[in-house]
Homo-oligomer: A and B are copies of this chain.
Amino acid sequence: MSETSSSPKRPKSRVESAETSPKWRRRAEARPAEIVEAAYEVFSEKGFAAAKLDDIAARAGVSKGALYLYFETKQEIFEAVVKQAVAPNIGAIEQMALGFPGPFEQLIRMMVPRVAELADKSNMGRVIKMVVGESGNFPEIARVWHDDVIAVGIGLLTKVIVRAQERGEVRAGDPRQYAISIIGPLLTAVIFRETFVPTGAKPFDIPALMQQHLETLLPGLLTTSART
C-alpha cells in the first residue's frame, strides 16, 4: 500500500496534541490504513459483492462496527482501496518522461523496464483486476480509474510518441495505437498473473518479457535514422 492515503472520515481528536505518546491515542491514526489494507486483500480475492465486512474487519483486527468509524459504507471502503492505488508513481513517471532531454529510444529504454518493475512488484495488478471485474457495478470507479490512471498513462505515452514523431524519431502511424503496442503486453501479463497463475498457470517473467518485447518492437517503431 502506498502512503497516498485517501481521506477517510477521521474521528476528530480534540486537540491533535503535540506529541502523541504511542500508548495514549489508541490506534486512531493507523486504523484507516489498516482497514484499507485488509479490505484490499479481501476485495481483491473475492470481488466487491462477495467480500464480507466481517472478513475485512477480522483481517484488520477490528470489530465490524469500527469500520463505520472511518468509512460510511462498504462502497466507500472499496473506493478508498481503489484510489489508494491510483496516484502512486504516475506523477513521478510523468515528470521524468516529459522532462527527458534525450532521444525517444533512450527514454523508452529507461521507462519501460521501470514500469515493468513497478507492475511486477506492486499490487496494481490486483487493483486492475478489481476495477475490471466491478466496472459494471461501479461505472464511477471505472471512470475515475480511467481518467486518473489509464488515460493519463496512455496519454503520456502518446504525447511522448507524438513528440518523437515530430522530431523524426518514430515512424508515421497512430500514436495512441503505438502506445497500446508498447504497453499492451505488460497489462496482459499482469492480468494473466492475477487471474490464471493462482490456478496453476505458468507465470511470465514480466521484466524479461518487456525487455524482449521492446527489442522486438523498436526496429519497427523507430525511423531508420533514429536507430542506434
- A interface residues, Cβ below 8 angstroms from B: 44-50, 129, 131-137, 139-140, 142-143, 145-146, 150-151, 171, 173-174, 176-178, 180-181, 183-189, 191-192, 194-196, 198-201, 204, 208-209, 212-213, 215-221
Report the bound CA distance from A77 to B209 in whole Å.
37
Count identical subunits in the complex: 4
Other-chain residue from B47, B174, B188 in contact with A136 (beta carbon distance below 8 A): B47
Residues on B with C-beta less than 8 A from A139 are: 198-199
Contact (Cβ within 8 A) A191 B191: yes
Instruction: Write out the residue numbers on chain B whose beta carbons fall within 8 Å of the beta carbon of A47.
Output: 47-49, 133-134, 136-137
Q: Which 10 A-B pairs have the closest CB atoms?
A: A133-B133, A184-B185, A49-B49, A184-B188, A216-B220, A219-B220, A143-B199, A184-B184, A146-B196, A219-B219
| In the complex, residue of chain B having the shortest beta-carbon distance to the beta carbon of A209 | B177
